[in-house]
């Protein structure tokens, strides 16, 4: 029984955190608020240099076939430093292409992803507010497949070179995942005014985009399910990182901020909030750890435990970052203090890839309803 | 990361399962049968259970063999607790002896004390109770006023203890008493072992809000115990008592999730059965959300348990973060109980009839959870401990 990450996994986190602190942190997050998705492109060379873009790839493409469990602590580090980069999406794209793409597709994309030449993202948001296939349809006319429709909440879309898009084929074949170049004809990208400027989001419209045969990954259903599951684990871990960083800063703050002649951290009202938040953070930590393990072992219970971790971590991060504002007092409500960057990032992470409420409803179907049907 | 147990540990689990399959059908309070309402019958079951696990070689699993233990580790202890909770095995009558006194004696006791007390404790022949809280010393335990004075070869004890669980069954009591009234309050306390069957001790039942009398007031009026029955040094009892607390709040929590999961199953059964304006509670999105919240919290308790086992394997003890688990499970259990009652809705006061108060698993959880956030350090005290000892926030000198 060893329910902990390995020494190697912690070492990778340490080195990732050191890099993210240098190139990320609140200053980089603020740059993304001001300048948009392009900031992610400026980070590509350093991330590539440290081998953080090709983690899941096979050795042929410069990676070391890392699992989401191997990489989980890196996502946490990205959350701690508010990294303005689609790290989860890069990892999802790498994992999916490495496992399920054709040789040609691999050769076209994987080396470039690993080298920081290609910035990848994933078109998460369906038009029905979920993460399913709703939104983009494919019509094949005269041997040419064209995409029509919309996906939303797509991270860093306007800076990306490659989007993974779930597509429903209306002319046979079922579902597929499309590899889309957002800068080609037939695409329109509109940046959304997003609360969390550290991760710019866009609406992506497909207006007859021509999808070549070798940009299609069939067996779309399991491909997309894998993407969503890995994405959820990554987001849950990012939310954990966001919360634990701002929590640590808040604990240090209440040790030095004095009122009534004492550090405010001496008062029980403050202590009890901090203790409750500590409990939430540590509980999310074990939930996420288990979810990452289940995802990597491809357990049948994996989706349920991934939803659980994502929902719990989302709620946890929203609460902990909100308490952080409260415990900072007036300064916590200013633009110049960094606390709000964490708060907004937490809410964005909780809202994407399944809100806590939506995830719990899905869990209820698997636990409560399945139990009823089993008699 | 690897959640599998070793082949030896799995073999131990199989042994426990075989043992439970053999003995539980003979137990009146186990499995799907509720405990009898009569407290005397409950106590008999608890006594029978202590003897049964001793006879089958499961008493004191992680304790040294030389004192009657099994010489295994905390991991086997956790496996045993987990299997017992899963099958609703009875609670032994000597929980305080095994959870608190025994581990303390093993660390702080003299060789003679270990030889004298541990084996009868494990055999269920000597039942222990805990004499800590007083009418004016609850969370502020160190302000206790019971006094012990050395007269000749004996300690003579005077004072009153309260909320003393199981004192009416106990043969011995481990008592915190003030032995130096002039010392600062944490420094003048000693940890004494006192026989219960003597004229100087009066046990009076206190009826709990469940309607049952599980705890007591214990009055010491020139009660006596031999001079050698002090654990650790005289006036060092506060530190000795805190050794106990760290055990109390640690590994025994790990097996609890299986019991909560059984309650969750009962809760989901109730949700299927309770009609409401939007169909059964199990189809009402408000209750579905709350059920999955509580279900999640129980699952996470299991995962905290994996974490504890991992730590125990490496360090063989828990630190102050054990406070976290006590706070976690007790507050979670309250939410579980509240949700169960909300699901029963207008039937809450009497669902399943009055029997439910004694035997109904949901009502028992609902009421019993009120105690869990108070005993063994209230939730407020646990939060102070976490804030000060884990997070390093400044201590308030008043405690």
Distance CA A248, CA A252 (A): 6
Is the separation of the CB atoms in B98 and B70 below 8 Å? no
When pLDDT is averaged across residues B261-274 and rounded to a whole number, the result is 91
End-to-end CA distance of chain B: 40
Q: For B200, how many CA atoms within 13 A lie in the half-sphere containing its CB?
A: 15
**B225 plus B260 within the same structural domain:** no
Percent of residues, chain A, with pLDDT higher than 90: 97
**B152 plus B224 within the same structural domain:** yes
**B223 plus B313 within the same structural domain:** no
pLDDT of A361 higher than 60 = yes
Cβ neighbours, 10 Å, residue B67: 21
Contact B393 A360 (CB under 8 A): no
The answer to the question of residue B45 being in a domain is yes
Degrees, nearest 5: CA angle A48-A244-A79: 25
When pLDDT is averaged across residues B324-337 and rounded to a whole number, the result is 95
**B173 plus B221 within the same structural domain:** yes
When pLDDT is averaged across residues A244-263 and rounded to a whole number, the result is 98
Give the pair of three-digit tokens for residue A33.
């608020």
Contact A276 B313 (CB under 8 A): no
Shortest Cα distance from B126 to chain A (angstroms)? 35
Give residue-wise pLDDT tens across range B112-166: 999 999 999 999 999 999 999 999 999 999 999 999 999 999 999 999 999 999 9
**B54 plus B14 within the same structural domain:** yes
Q: Across-strand partners of A262?
A: A259
Residue A333: what pLDDT? 97
**B258 plus B382 within the same structural domain:** yes
Give residue-wise pLDDT tens across range B39-57: 888 899 999 999 999 999 9
Shortest Cα distance from B244 to chain A (angstroms)? 22
When pLDDT is averaged across residues A296-322 and rounded to a whole number, the result is 97
Residue A19 dihedral angles phi and psi, to the nearest 5° = -65, -45
Of the residues B248, B263, B297, B372, only one is catalytic, namely: B248
Contact A1 B296 (CB under 8 A): no
End-to-end CA distance of chain A: 34
Is the separation of the CB atoms in B217 and B162 below 8 Å? yes
The answer to the question of residue B115 being in a domain is no
Q: Which residues of B touch A311 (CB under 8 A)?
A: 292, 296
Contact A289 B3 (CB under 8 A): no
Q: What is the CATH number of the domain that holds B378?
A: 1.20.140.10
For an interface test with B, give the residue of A73, A259, A279, A289 to mutate (most B CBs within 10 A): A279
Residue B114: what pLDDT? 98
**B180 plus B270 within the same structural domain:** no
pLDDT of A201 higher than 80 = yes
Q: What is the CATH number of the domain that holds B34?
A: 1.10.540.10
Give residue-wise pLDDT tens across range A35-44: 999 999 999 9
Q: Which of A316, A302, A342 is nearest to A197 (CA)?
A: A342
Distance CA B337, CA B340 (A): 5
pLDDT band at B248 (very low <50, low <70, confident <90, very high): low
pLDDT band at B104 (very low <50, low <70, confident <90, very high): very high
**B12 plus B139 within the same structural domain:** no
Q: Is residue B248 annotated as part of the catalytic site, yes or no?
A: yes
- Range in A6-20, B9-23, B249-263, B347-361 the model is least confident about: B347-361
pLDDT band at B359 (very low <50, low <70, confident <90, very high): low
Q: What is the CATH number of the domain that holds B176?
A: 2.40.110.10
Nearest-CB residue to A286 (from B9, B75, B304) = B304
Ramachandran category for residue B377: left, alpha or beta (phi over 0 → left; psi -120 to 50 → alpha)? left
Nearest-CB residue to A3 (from B1, B384, B387) = B1
The answer to the question of residue B208 being in a domain is yes
The answer to the question of residue B372 being in a domain is yes
Is the separation of the CB atoms in A157 and A182 below 8 Å? yes
**B265 plus B143 within the same structural domain:** no
Ramachandran category for residue A172: left, alpha or beta (phi over 0 → left; psi -120 to 50 → alpha)? left
**B171 plus B200 within the same structural domain:** yes
Highest mean pLDDT among B194-198, B210-214, B253-257: B194-198
The answer to the question of residue B320 being in a domain is yes
Domains defined for chain A, CATH in brackets: 7-118 (1.10.540.10), 136-219 (2.40.110.10), 221-374 (1.20.140.10)
Residue of A nearest to B381 (CA): A272
What residues of A are in the B interface, CB distance below 8 Å? Answer: 1-6, 69, 251, 254-255, 262-263, 265-268, 270-272, 274-276, 278-279, 282-283, 286-287, 289-290, 293, 305, 308, 311-312, 357, 360-361, 363-364, 367-369, 371-372
- Range in A55-59, A347-351, B81-85, B138-142 the model is least confident about: B81-85
pLDDT band at B353 (very low <50, low <70, confident <90, very high): low
Q: What is the DSSP letter of A130?
A: S
Q: Which residues of B touch A6 (CB under 8 A)?
A: 1
Shortest Cα distance from B141 to chain A (angstroms)? 18
Query: What ipTM does the predicted assembly reach?
Result: 0.96
Last residue of a domain, one of B201, B235, B269: B235
Is the separation of the CB atoms in A147 and A153 below 8 Å? no
Nearest-CB residue to A2 (from B310, B394, B395) = B310
Please report the DSSP string for B257-276 in residue order. Answer: HHHHHHHHHHHHHHHHH---
pLDDT band at B82 (very low <50, low <70, confident <90, very high): confident
Residue of A nearest to B288 (CA): A364
pLDDT of B35 higher than 80 = no
**B21 plus B89 within the same structural domain:** yes
When pLDDT is averaged across residues A110-137 and rounded to a whole number, the result is 96
| Residue contacts between A and B (CB atoms, under 8 Å) | 141
Distance CA B382, CA B379 (A): 5
Residue of A nearest to B293 (CA): A360
pLDDT band at A374 (very low <50, low <70, confident <90, very high): confident
Residue B309: what pLDDT? 83
Q: Residue B51's domain spans which residues?
A: 7-93
Indicate the average pLDDT of chain A.
97
Residue B120: what pLDDT? 98
Residue B249: what pLDDT? 53
The answer to the question of residue B398 being in a domain is no
Q: Across-strand partners of A164?
A: A122, A179
Give the pair of three-digit tokens for residue A39.
């900031």
The answer to the question of residue B18 being in a domain is yes
Nearest-CB residue to A278 (from B296, B304, B391) = B391
Last residue of a domain, one of B50, B78, B93: B93
**B207 plus B324 within the same structural domain:** no
Report pTM: 0.95
- How many structural domains does chain B have? 3
Residue whose tokens read 């409560």: A368
The answer to the question of residue B161 being in a domain is yes
Residue of B nearest to A5 (CA): B1
Distance CA B272, CA B264 (A): 12
Last residue of a domain, one of B41, B68, B93: B93
Residue A169: what pLDDT? 96
Alpha helical stretches, state H, chain B: 7-23, 39-55, 74-86, 95-96, 102-108, 111-123, 237-248, 256-273, 285-315, 322-344, 355-359, 361-372, 379-385
Residue B31: what pLDDT? 56
Q: Which residues of A touch B373 (CB under 8 A)?
A: none
pLDDT of B354 higher than 80 = no
């Amino acid at each position: 029984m060893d329910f902990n990450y390995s020494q190697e996994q912690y070492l990778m986190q340490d080195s990732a955190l050191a890099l993210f602190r240098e190139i990320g942190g609140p200053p980089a997050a603020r740059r993304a608020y001001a300048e948009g998705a392009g900031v992610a492109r400026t980070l590509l060379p350093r991330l590539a240099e440290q081998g953080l873009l090709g983690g899941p790839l096979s050795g042929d493409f410069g990676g070391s076939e890392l699992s989401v469990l191997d990489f989980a602590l890196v996502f946490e580090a990205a959350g701690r430093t508010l990294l303005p980069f689609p790290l989860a999406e890069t990892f999802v794209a790498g994992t999916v292409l490495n496992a399920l793409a054709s040789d040609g597709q691999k050769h076209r994309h994987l080396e470039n992803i690993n080298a920081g030449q290609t910035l990848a993202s994933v078109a998460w948001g369906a038009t029905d507010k979920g993460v399913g296939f709703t939104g983009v349809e494919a019509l094949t006319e005269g041997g040419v497949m064209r995409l029509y429709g919309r996906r939303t909440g797509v991270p860093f879309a306007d800076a990306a070179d490659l989007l993974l898009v779930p597509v429903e084929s209306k002319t046979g074949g079922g579902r597929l995942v499309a590899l889309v170049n957002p800068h080609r004809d037939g695409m329109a990208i509109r940046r959304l005014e997003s609360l969390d400027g550290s991760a710019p989001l866009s609406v992506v419209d497909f207006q007859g985009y021509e999808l070549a045969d070798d940009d299609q990954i069939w067996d779309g259903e399991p491909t997309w399910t894998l993407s969503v599951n890995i994405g959820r684990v990554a987001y849950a871990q990012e939310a954990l990182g966001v919360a634990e960083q701002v929590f640590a800063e808040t604990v240090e703050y209440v040790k030095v901020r004095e009122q009534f002649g004492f550090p405010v951290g001496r008062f029980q009202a403050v202590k009890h909030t901090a203790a409750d938040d500590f409990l939430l953070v540590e509980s999310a930590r074990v939930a996420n750890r288990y979810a990452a393990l289940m995802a990597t072992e491809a357990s049948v219970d994996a989706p349920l435990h991934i939803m659980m971790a994502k929902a719990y971590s989302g709620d946890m991060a929203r609460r902990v970052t909100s308490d952080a504002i409260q415990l900072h007092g007036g300064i916590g409500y200013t633009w110049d203090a960094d606390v709000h960057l964490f708060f907004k990032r937490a809410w964005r992470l909780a809202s994407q890839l399944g809100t806590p409420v939506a995830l719990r409803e899905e869990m209820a179907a698997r636990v409560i309803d399945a139990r009823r049907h089993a008699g | 990361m690897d959640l599998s147990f070793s082949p030896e540990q799995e073999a131990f689990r199989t042994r426990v399962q075989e043992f439970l399959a053999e003995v539980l059908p003979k137990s009146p309070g186990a499995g799907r049968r509720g405990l009898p309402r009569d407290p005397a019958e409950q106590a008999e079951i608890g006594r029978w259970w202590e003897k049964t696990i001793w006879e089958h070689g499961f008493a004191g699993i992680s304790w040294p063999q030389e004192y009657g233990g099994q010489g295994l580790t905390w991991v086997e202890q956790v496996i045993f607790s987990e299997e017992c909770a899963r099958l609703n095995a009875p609670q032994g009558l000597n929980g305080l002896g095994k959870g608190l006194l025994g581990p303390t004696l093993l660390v702080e006791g003299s060789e003679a004390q270990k030889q004298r007390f541990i084996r009868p404790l494990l055999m269920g022949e000597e039942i222990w109770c805990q004499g800590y809280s007083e009418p004016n010393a609850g969370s502020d335990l160190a302000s206790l006023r019971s006094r012990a004075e050395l007269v000749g070869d004996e300690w003579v004890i005077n004072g009153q203890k309260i909320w003393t669980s199981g004192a009416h069954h106990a043969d011995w009591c481990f008592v915190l008493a003030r032995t130096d009234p002039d010392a600062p309050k944490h420094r003048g306390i000693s940890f004494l072992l006192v026989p219960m069957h003597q004229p100087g001790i009066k046990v009076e039942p206190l009826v709990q809000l469940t309607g049952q009398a599980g705890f007591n007031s214990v009055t010491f009026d020139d009660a006596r115990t031999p001079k050698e029955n002090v654990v650790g040094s005289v006036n060092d009892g506060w530190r000795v008592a805190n050794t106990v607390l760290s055990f109390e709040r640690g590994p025994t929590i790990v097996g609890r999730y299986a019991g909560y999961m059984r309650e969750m199953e009962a809760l989901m059964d109730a949700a299927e059965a309770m009609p409401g304006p939007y169909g059964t509670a199990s189809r009402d999105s408000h209750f579905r959300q709350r059920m999955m919240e509580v279900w999640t919290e129980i699952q996470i308790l299991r995962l905290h348990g994996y974490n504890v086992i991992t730590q125990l394997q490496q360090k063989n003890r828990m630190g102050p973060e054990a406070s976290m688990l006590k706070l976690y499970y007790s507050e979670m259990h309250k939410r579980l109980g509240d949700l169960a009652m909300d699901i029963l809705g207008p039937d809450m006061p009497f669902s399943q009839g009055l029997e439910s108060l004694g035997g109904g698993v949901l009502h028992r959880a609902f009421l019993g959870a009120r105690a869990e956030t108070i005993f063994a350090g209230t939730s407020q005290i646990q939060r102070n401990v976490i804030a000060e000892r884990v997070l390093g926030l400044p201590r308030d000198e008043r405690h």
